[in-house]
Amino acid sequence: MKGSLDENFKTALKRLIIEACDLADRIDVHEIDDHAPLFGRNSKLGLDSIDALQISIAIQQEYGITITDSKEMRRIMTSINTFADFIQPES
């Protein structure tokens, strides 16, 4: 199943982001909109480049996926939906 269509997978991805960025005291999984930006001033999470690095390390550990290109990383991590689709493409 494509990642953006899998609610359980997106919830797990949100938890991974919250844990990797130490945001548990600031936001709950259910407060993260699947379409909202993860980075930038319009982001509810307010993630930055250090967070992106922490997330990419967590993704590598959890799913064995390595993202080394910073431009590709920004495109992939636009929202929960785009991130989920990258990690779990349509099968």
Q: Mean pLDDT across the stretch 56-68?
A: 93
Residue 19 has a pLDDT of: 97
Contact 21, 54 (CB under 8 A): yes
Mean pLDDT of the residues in the chain: 92
Domain ranges of the chain: 3-87
Q: Mean pLDDT across the stretch 76-82?
A: 95
From the list 17, 37, 35, 12, the residue with the least C-alpha distance to 27 is 17
pTM score of the predicted model: 0.91
Task: For Cα atoms 68, 44, 61, give the angle at the middle one, nearest 5 degrees.
Answer: 35
Please say whether the structural domain 3-87 has been given the CATH code 1.10.1200.10. yes
